[in-house]
Amino acid sequence: MKDFAGRTAFVTGGANGIGLGLARALLAEGCKVAIADIREDAIDAALKTLDNRHVIGVPLDVASRQGFAEAADRVEAELGPVSLVFNNAGINLFQTIDESSFDDWDWVMGVNLHGVINGVMTFAPRMKARGLGGHIVNTASMASFLCGPQPGIYNTTKFAVRGMSESLRYSLAPFGIGVSVLCPGLVKSHIYASDEVRPDALLAGARPVNTEMVGRLEQVHQFGMEPDVIAQRTLDAVRENRFYIFSHPEFKDELRELFDEVIAEFRADPEDPGYQQRIGFEAGRRAGYKAARMAGRSEEH
């Protein structure tokens, strides 16, 4: 994508953090922008800072399929067809999987994974039908590669977003629609305060909010990367139709170390009876996968 000017962009989690940075960057490129967020007061505050007639705010719980469809209809009626989608809304829950409840799962999965699915399923068919190309950016995290005991459910959702985004990239490439996955590290944002927007209906089994830890996380996030820096790096990647958007260079060596550990886990096991038949199939699959990756890089969008 060489030119953003004149396009309509839809940004979830758009009232703070990376989302608001993206809104500023897109407006500067001449886009019309809809910022969607669950916090209406945050939307109002964000719109005051943007002070641009080409931006509107849309209250949205990304976990709601109907809400997403209604938001899309409103935005396209007011700003025109959406061809840039940034599924960026996200929350976090700092606890291990074994200490979590089903409601914990439903809440975090609902926002971090189903929110992205809802964005894709709402806009991708419209973008394909119009034939105007475009780009979808799904925000994952370096937590889509790097795990720890905490936060387990968050890790699960981000791994899923990464895999979904790669598959989607190959299926949309023939339609001139690019797909990227954004994998940031620490960001100056309010994700540490996710409990503030947890629905009352999903509080069963929730552990009491550890206000001391939230306070520590708030201090840590003050040293996060500025959203405007991430936004500019994201738009640069969209222009170049790159799949992975690694905004934080400090993770490169750790990722290389991780991949080396993964490869080292393979063993020189003896051939089993079905080996020769399998490798013939896998050779074809491997060639197809490589062809899909190359096509995804080269398709105009």
User: Average of pLDDT values for 62-74?
Assistant: 98
pLDDT band for 26, please (50, 70, 90 cuts). very high
- Please say whether the beta carbons of 124 and 73 come within 8 A: no
- Please say whether the beta carbons of 120 and 163 come within 8 A: no
Going by C-alpha positions, the residue among 189, 271, 183, 179 that lies closest to residue 228 is 189
User: For position 297, what pLDDT does the model report?
Assistant: 83
- 199 or 115, higher pLDDT: 115
Residue 252 has pLDDT above 70, yes or no: yes
Residue 300 has pLDDT above 60, yes or no: no
Which amino acids are annotated catalytic?
154
User: Average of pLDDT values for 20-27?
Assistant: 97
User: For position 36, what pLDDT does the model report?
Assistant: 98
pLDDT band for 193, please (50, 70, 90 cuts). low
User: Average of pLDDT values for 57-65?
Assistant: 98
Within 13 A of 227's CA, how many CA atoms are on the CB side?
21
What is the spatial distance between Cα 82 and Cα 67, in angstroms, rounded to a whole number?
A: 16
Distance of CA 116 to the CA centre of its chain: 7
User: For position 190, what pLDDT does the model report?
Assistant: 67
Strand order in the sheet with 55-59: 55-59, 32-37, 8-12, 82-87, 134-139, 177-182, 244-245
Percent of the chain with pLDDT over 90: 81
User: For position 222, what pLDDT does the model report?
Assistant: 79
User: For position 51, what pLDDT does the model report?
Assistant: 82
107-142: pLDDT as tens digits: 999 999 999 999 999 999 999 999 999 999 999 999
Longest dimension (CA), the chain: 68
Residue 301 has pLDDT above 70, yes or no: no
133-169: pLDDT as tens digits: 999 999 999 999 999 888 999 999 999 999 999 999 9
pLDDT band for 296, please (50, 70, 90 cuts). confident
User: Average of pLDDT values for 281-285?
Assistant: 95
Task: Retrieve residue 250's tokens.
Answer: 């400090």
Q: Pick 8-298's CATH classification: 3.40.50.300, 3.90.400.10, 1.10.8.60, 3.40.50.720.
A: 3.40.50.720
